[in-house]
Amino acid sequence: MKQLILYSITYILSFNVLLTFAKSNETVDTVATAKPRVKVCGDIRVTLLELKRGFHAPTLSSCEISLGSVIYAPMHFLVNTSATTAIQFPNLREIHGYMLLGYSSMHSFSSMFPRLSIIHGKDLYHGYSLIVMDNVFLEDFGLTSLINIRQGNVIIARNARLCYAESLRWNDIMEAKKTQVISRQNRDNCAFCPTCPSACWSPTQCQQRCSPNCQGNCLSETVCCPEQCVGGCHYSNITVTSSLICNACRNMRIYATGLCVEKCADNMLKAGGSLCITHQECKSFFLGTGFILDEINECVLSCPPGFTRMPRSRCIRCISSPANNYCHGACKERHIRSIGDFRSLKYCSRVHTLNIYNIETVDARKNNFLEAFSAISSLEQIDHEFTIHNVKIFSALSVFSRLRRIGITSNSSMT
């Protein structure tokens, strides 16, 4: 009997220690998981062009991860306002590129993007990962679930009625601390968070705050998410005793199980730089479609410039030349205006024209530099025109390590 009591006391003490450990903002989980078999899409574009083509919102409303960028710019003064404000993406949690919200008649984006928690900024719009501009009726952001912007700057401008642009703790959201948040020509005479202790998205929506121990990655002020999570976490069901599920994985996620891992297994494909999938899964991965790039072991929404679509959902490298119009135009004329534009050169060994101009160092970060220079390294020949103007990210042509020839036409030029 005494031994049974001793075991009981030991169990209770151990349980209390675990509770104390959890309440001190330390995570007990050693294995982190996110939702398995998520619905994945590419770019989400709600623009005047897409609306005229017949934008079909239900097709994308189930999307949970955009492996591209989200652009909501319907040009409200040229289209039916009621049709564009009714569009919603209730399940979207994760954007891999940038988010542009502009030229709309929205009062708030709270009903359009209620679960958006993370913007990775892997693709930037002139150095920006979040752009909110020229929304004439916008009164508050409403992006109350947004916890993390991994890289890229933020600009909020020319929203005449917008309050609370400067009442957020942007430092808590921005993972890269050297990034800029630019706010200008928005409404000035706003009450400062009337119902919140410090920071808010709107008069009634406080900004979630994490304990310093959580490093900006939490469920609440007292509950940290597992270290492999990024963009916060949530309970797997409504009971607080259920396990914590990552909104996104810090590195890679196995599509079928949701397990967060450092890298994909050798027999799996990468998708969007964050998901690990099988060859069979790739064929219907992007809401019903997908293509395999064997050369780089990736699954993509469509064959990129420099590749040709083949049977059995595969893409093979196209050899660029005048005879095939430089891979059917994909590698013909390349005009580079930002770090991100260098990607269009990645699989082009030969181009007709290359113009690089007006690229500031503010648009460049270490990873972007490496990706840009990697894309340049594919280039071997420029047939007609090569121009570099006001480019501050490199000072010598040695970055074009494989470039062997410039000009084969009588009027070719280099400046």
For residue range 303-341, what is the model confidence (pLDDT) as tens digits?
A: 887 788 888 888 988 888 899 898 888 888 888 887 778
| 183-192, 232-241, 252-261, 362-371: least confident range | 362-371
Residue that wins the pLDDT comparison between 55 and 119 = 119
Which runs of consecutive H residues, i.e. helices, occur in 118-234?
170-173
pTM equals 0.79
For 322-414, CATH number?
3.80.20.20
The secondary structure element, H or E, covering residue 275 is strand 275-277
- Bridge partners of 47, per DSSP, are 73
The pLDDT value given to residue 90: 95
Which pLDDT band holds residue 20 (cuts at 50, 70, 90)? Answer: very low
- Bridge partners of 154, per DSSP, are 130, 181
The pLDDT value given to residue 7: 40
Calpha distance 313→289 (Å, rounded) = 9
Which pLDDT band holds residue 367 (cuts at 50, 70, 90)? Answer: low
Fold designation for 40-209: 24 nucleotide stem-loop, u2 snrnp hairpin iv. U2 a'; Chain A (3.80.20)
118, two tokens: 């993370």
- Bridge partners of 40, per DSSP, are 65
Hey, which bits of 134-180 come out as E strands?
148-149, 153-157
- Mean pLDDT, rounded, of the chain: 82
Task: Report the percentage of the chain scoring pLDDT > 90.
Answer: 37
* Per-residue pLDDT at 17 exceeds 50: no
Helix (H, G, I), strand (E, B) or coil at 99: strand
Q: Where in the chain is the domain with CATH 3.80.20.20?
A: 40-209, 322-414
User: What is the amino acid identity at position 275?
Assistant: L
Q: What is the mean pLDDT of residues 224-245?
A: 83
228, two tokens: 């492999």
